[in-house]
Amino acid sequence: MVARGADKIVGMDLFDEIVRLRRAGQKCALATIVQVNGSIPSYESAKLLVREDGSMIGTIGGGCVEAEVWNAAREVIGTEKPRHMKFSLGQDAAYDNGLICGGQLEVFVEAIVPQPKAFIFGAGHISKSLCKVASLAGFSVTVIDNREQYANRERFPEAEDVFAEEYEELFPKLSIRDTSYVIIVTRGHRDDMRVLRWAVDTQARYISMIGSRRKVIGVMKELEKEGVTNIGPERLFAPMGFEIGAITPEEIAVSVVAEMIAARRNPEANWREHSKSIFQADAAKALVK
């Protein structure tokens, strides 16, 4: 059997590691023995943490059961959907220690994801509302603009970070992962293109851009002339937001953040059909080509 005291020490390190990974913007999966019947070479509440790269902290006893849970944890990290697993050790050798335990155990595997980060490029009136609504919806918000009179703490008290720098100077400093959301609302389509050109080469889960359909199609054609072809409906939403008849900055912010939430949660319903993005309309797709 595994010494409980040792596992308690491992458990403390495990939770510290969860905090570190979330702060670094990295996913992981936590496997916990939630029920035990009979004898097993571990104990109820034992935990195993699996990182994105497959490395582990903690243990639920080792052996073939832990190997199967490790495989499930890698899947859970990708899907962000939990797994409830049941094992019966029966008359087989339990784990790798050769013991015949004969017990049963249940393991719950859950994804632990970092707080999603919203990077808002442009610090105008729509961005102010976007920052407020996105913060309320659980996003950590960073606002970026090259104008100090707009990009400041007084205008964006809810933001975690506010940068007043040239976009190209700031790009290398930003950590963009698949839990990042890029919203492009700069003061003009030339600046929009600067940001979009960079954004499509990142791992961002969601990239959106403000503008009419006509403007979006024009931007896409210009980028295609430059050889930028890795733009598609999976990540780019332009015009941004759901079609709810939004007019005011506050209403636009609600429609955009709703789209961000859908991209984050990926509900079973076909939520993309409510998007204003030109990529959702066959006719508009043809115009881009």
Q: How confident is the model at residue 1 (pLDDT cuts 50, 70, 90)?
A: very low
CATH no., domain 117-288: 3.40.50.720
pTM of model > 0.75: yes
Q: Kindly provide the b/e burial profile for residues 186-225, where b requires at least 16 CB atoms within 10 angstroms of the residue's own CB.
A: beebebbbbbbbbbbebebbbbbbbbebeebbebbeebee
Q: How confident is the model at residue 4 (pLDDT cuts 50, 70, 90)?
A: very low
Which is higher by pLDDT, 7 or 263? Answer: 263
Chain center to CA of 248: 28
Give me the residue spans of the domains in the chain. 4-112, 117-288
Are the CB atoms for 235 and 206 separated by under 8 Å?
A: yes
Q: Nearest-CA neighbor of 61 among 91, 19, 26, 31?
A: 31
Provide mean pLDDT across the span 13-36: 92
Alpha helix (H) residue ranges in the chain? 4-23, 63-79, 125-136, 167-170, 189-199, 213-225, 249-265, 282-288
Provide mean pLDDT across the span 178-204: 92
CA gap 27, 10 in Å, rounded: 19
Q: What are 212's two structure tokens?
A: 């009419």
Would you state the pLDDT for residue 52?
A: 93
The answer to which of 34-43, 68-77, 188-197, 266-275 has the lowest mean pLDDT is: 266-275
Q: Nearest-CA neighbor of 238 among 205, 196, 268?
A: 196
